[in-house]
Amino acid sequence: MMDESKIQLIVNSVLKELGEAPVDSSKITEVTAADASPSSTEAASPGHVPSGDTPDMSLDDLGSDKFKKWYGVKNAVNDSINQDMMKHTTARLCLGRTGPRPLTIPLLRFLADHSRSKDTVVKEVAEDWLQQHELWEVHSQAKDKDEYLTRPDLGRKLSDDGCKLITERCEKSPQVQLVISDGLSTDATVSNYDELLPPLLKGLQSAGLKVGTPFFLRYGRVKAQDQIGQMLNAEVNLLLIGERPGLGQSESLSCYAVYRPDENTVESDRTVLSNIHRGGTPPVEAAAVIVDLAKKMLEKKASGINLNR
């Protein structure tokens, strides 16, 4: 750590460059944590959120609920209208502004949400999480996350080792084959699994359906389910995969369902249930919808647009 004399030398050098007079060290005041604490007489405006609630003066978590529903409008004609509007959407409303610019807290929250969205794309599903949930994994042809993001085509095909594992471990010719994949959101897979998978598997079994062996596909894209379905001769193929994250929502999961896919399967052949998370379609409710969907697909022997004809 630099001593005070070196710091003083640097300060005066900068001041000299700016054409200012040097400052005597006796005039420099040390700022302590007590000096930095917010005043007890600070005005409690609707947009004011105190910081430094803890003794070590750490900043508040920008992901906490008080920031997600932060209200920054001052001197509104009718606050109740704004508050009621905010109850019905998670959109960024009533954040306030200073001139043409956003206030500091809404700006920091925006940057935090953006960082979280980027983080969930590049994160990996941990090996110990897979072991805890008794899931074995196969890989697509993408060797790592960087290649997965830059070469979408490699995520649509299984690696040779993955094909071998599926052939060896999976039950053949099931009525329903279930695959879980990280996709573009690791958070979506990890955060929704415990509330979605148990009721989904139980619901499929209670419906009297023969369910194949579930497994985890790392670096998977939606098209990979077609190859899996062909290999296992499965009737209904269900792929639970993390959606591309958005600002403020990085835990959204999708279920892609397709009936007997082959090399000619196109996207309109798939039925999709998206926006599965606690703030969208709750995982438990999604499980019931997916079970009914699988039964309907088996009855109609179709999926996608053909299911509605």
1-37 per-position pLDDT tens digit? 556 777 778 777 777 766 777 777 665 555 554 544 4
What number of other Cβ atoms are within 10 A of residue 109's Cβ? 21
Q: For 170-197, how does the pLDDT look when each residue is reduced to its tens digit (9 = 90+)?
A: 999 999 999 999 999 999 999 999 999 9
Residue 205: pLDDT over 80: yes
Q: At 147, which CATH number?
A: 3.40.50.11240
Residue 93 confidence (pLDDT) above 70: yes
Averaged pLDDT of the chain: 86
- pLDDT confidence of 100, banded at 50, 70, 90? confident
115 falls within a domain: no
Percentage of the chain lying above the pLDDT 70 cut? 86
Q: In what order do the strands lie in the sheet with 271-276?
A: 137-139, 215-218, 176-181, 236-242, 253-259, 271-276
Q: Is residue 139 part of a domain?
A: yes
Binding region for adenosylcob(III)alamin: 222, 243
**Tokens 């179709």 found at:** 302
Range name among 7-11, 86-90, 301-305 with the lowest pLDDT average: 7-11
Asked, for residue 52, whether it belongs to a domain, the answer is: no
Confidence of residue 70 (pLDDT cuts 50, 70, 90): confident
Whether 274 maps to a domain, the answer reads yes
Number of independent structural domains in the chain: 1
pLDDT at 71: 85
- Domain span holding position 249: 127-308
The pLDDT score that the predictor gives to residue 48 is 47
Output the pTM of the full model. Answer: 0.75
Give the integer Cα–Cα distance in Å for 234 and 68.
43
Q: Check whether 290 has a pLDDT greater than 60.
A: yes
How many Cα atoms occupy the beta-carbon half-sphere of 257 within 13 Å? 28
CA distance 180 to 136: 10
| C-alpha–C-alpha distance, residues 247 and 92, integer Å | 10
In a domain, 89, yes or no: no
Better-predicted residue by pLDDT, 98 or 227: 227
Q: CA-CA distance, 159 to 217, in Å (whole number)?
A: 11
From the annotation, which residues make up the binding site? 222, 243
Q: Give domain status of residue 111, yes or no.
A: no
* Residue 146 Cα distances to 143, 159, 162, angstroms: 8, 16, 19
Top-ranked range on mean pLDDT: pick from 7-11, 92-96, 244-248, 292-296: 292-296
The residue-averaged pLDDT of 66-92 equals 84
Residue 38's pLDDT is what?
42
Using alpha carbons, select from 122, 176, 128, 118 the residue that is nearest to residue 148. Answer: 122
Give the DSSP per-residue string, 143-212: -SHHHHHH-HHHHTSB-HHHHHHHHHHSPSS-SEEEEEE-TT-HHHHHHHHHHHHHHHHHHHHHTT--B-
d(CA 153, CA 89): 36
In-domain check, residue 204? yes
Please give the average per-residue pLDDT across 216-243, as a whole number. Answer: 97
304 has pLDDT over 60: yes
pLDDT value for 25: 63
Confidence grade of residue 114 (pLDDT, cut at 50, 70, 90): confident
Count of Cβ atoms closer than 10 Å to residue 293 Cβ:
18
Strand-pairing partners, residue 180, are 216, 240
Q: How confident is the model at residue 68 (pLDDT cuts 50, 70, 90)?
A: confident
297 in a domain, yes or no? yes
pLDDT in tens, 37-58: 444 333 334 444 444 444 455 6
